[in-house]
Amino acid sequence: MAGPIQTLPQGLLGLLQLKSFGENPYDLLETVQPSVDLYRLWIERNAQDVQGLFGVASVNTAALVTGNHGTQNFGSAAQVTPSNEIWFVVYFTGTIQTIAAADTITGLQTGIFTSIPNGGVYLQSAPVSDVITARARSLATNPVAPFFVPPGSQFVVNVADILSVGGITVNLNLRAVRIPI
């Protein structure tokens, strides 16, 4: 005679044979209770853009010309995270709206400069380059994941090399959540 029909357990409760008549056992309610992750909704509701974070409509670098390589600040020294806040950055892009036909820029990266212990420049995005000189074009670089910014940090752009007579301006696009400390 054949043995009892075996079925594969459906989930943890089935594996532990704790499910009773389709209801979760009361002993496991705190640890197995279904939930909805509200993280993304909370982030989107509380994130602010450049206007809300810095109180200005836009933040840009100075017009970068040949020789302006290295780390460049976005805006003035006033564009720093306050000393009583940590920011959770969900969107951070350095964009160049128009690069003239004869200009080139290589190794454009966005990041932060911080003076916390062991501080310095921390680049968050992969380097992008534009060396096409036949036409006008745009360029953008952004980090691959959200990140935390400590108090007193400044947003920066790093440029490996630039060849421009008229100047190239990098714009800061940012959305971040202020977290008081």
Q: What is the pLDDT of residues 95-139, one digit of tens each?
A: 998 888 888 889 999 999 987 777 888 888 988 998 877 788 888
Q: What is the pLDDT of residue 148?
A: 94
Per the CB < 8 A criterion, the answer to whether 146 and 42 are in contact is: no
> What is the residue extent of each domain of the chain?
49-180
Structure tokens at 27: 């002993």
Q: For strand 171-180 and strand 85-99, is the pairing parallel, antiparallel, or unpaired?
A: antiparallel
Query: What CATH number was assigned to the domain covering residues 49-180?
Result: 2.60.120
Q: What is the pLDDT of residue 40?
A: 86
What pTM was estimated for this model as a whole? 0.75
- Low-confidence residues of the chain, pLDDT below 70? 1-34, 76-78
Cα 78 to chain centroid distance, Å, stands at 21
- What is d(CA 114, CA 91) in angstroms, rounded to the nearest whole number? 19
- What is d(CA 105, CA 97) in angstroms, rounded to the nearest whole number? 13
Q: What is the pLDDT of residue 47?
A: 95
CA 120 to each of CA 66, 109, 116, 180: distance values in angstroms, whole numbers, following the listed order: 24, 15, 8, 23
Q: What is the pLDDT of residue 13?
A: 63
User: Which contiguous run of DSSP H or E holds residue 13?
Assistant: helix 11-15
Q: What is the pLDDT of residue 76?
A: 66
Q: What is the pLDDT of residue 147?
A: 93
- What is d(CA 47, CA 102) in angstroms, rounded to the nearest whole number? 38
Give the CA diameter of the chain. 90
